[in-house]
Structure 1
Amino acid sequence: MALDTAKKSQIIAKFARKSGDTGSTEVQIALLTARISELTEHLKINKKDFSSRLGLLKLVGQRKRLLRYLKATKYDTYAKVVSELGLRDK
């Protein structure tokens, strides 16, 4: 369920702070969101794939922690990322 390189590089280019930036919080959140959406589609088809379901829950938790960190440190960037990715704000 890994992202292909073209899609991954496209996401990195869109959310990177500068060229060569692959580890910033915004990029990590965007990549996690893409993986979460792919896993969600996979689980709609394969309802009994419980190991992938556990992996999905771990990814959601990791994204939640990164969003909480971004919200506490740079709220304007947080708001931009949430709106671009279409995530709900709680």
Structure 2
Amino acid sequence: MAMDLAKKKEIISKFCRNEQDTGSSEVQIALLSNRISTLTEHLKINKKDHSSRLGLLKLVGQRKSLLRYLKRVNYPKYIETIKALGIKDKI
């Protein structure tokens, strides 16, 4: 299930560094977190959808590596991002 354009623009505008920013690590983490929560809700209903479960694990790994990068490069922005998204600091 694809994310609608309005929701995507809302997330980008909340986490962007400037008006032209759509690919910074903060924006990517926020978009991945939204997709992860959507897939999690889908898998609560469809317990036997194993291909979506594998896709979810792939997205979680991608988000984890982006979070690790952000923590290494810009720690204050990392703290701000995980607080805004409600992600635990386990990395």
Which category describes the TM-score, using the shorter chain as reference length? over 0.9
**Structure 1 residue aligned with 2:59:** 59
In structure 1, what is the equivalent of residue 20 of structure 2? 20
Q: Is there any run of 5+ residues in structure 1 with no aligned partner, and where?
A: none
Per-residue deviation, residues 22-53 of structure 1 (Å, max 9, x unmatched): 00000000000000000000000000000000
Alpha-carbon offset, residue 87 of structure 1: 0.3
Q: Aligned partners of 1:62, 1:36: CA distance in 2, in Å? A: 11
Identity %: 69
Q: How does 1:1-90 map to 2 (within 5 A)?
A: 1-90=1-90
Q: Distance in 1 between matches of 2:66 and 2:35?
A: 15
Residues in 2 aligned to 1:2 and 1:69: alpha-carbon distance in whole angstroms = 26
Shift of 1:77: 0.2
Q: 1:2, CA displacement in angstroms?
A: 1.8
Inter-partner Cα distance in structure 1 for 2:32 and 2:2:
11
Deviation at 1:71, TM superposition (A): 0.2
RMSD: 0.5
> 1:55 is aligned with what amino acid?
G
Give 5+ residue unaligned stretches, structure 2. none
Structure 1 runs of 4+ aligned residues shifted over 3 Å read: none
Residue type at the aligned position of 2:37: S
User: Normalised by the size of structure 2, how large is the TM-score?
Assistant: 0.97
Offset, 1:20? 1.7
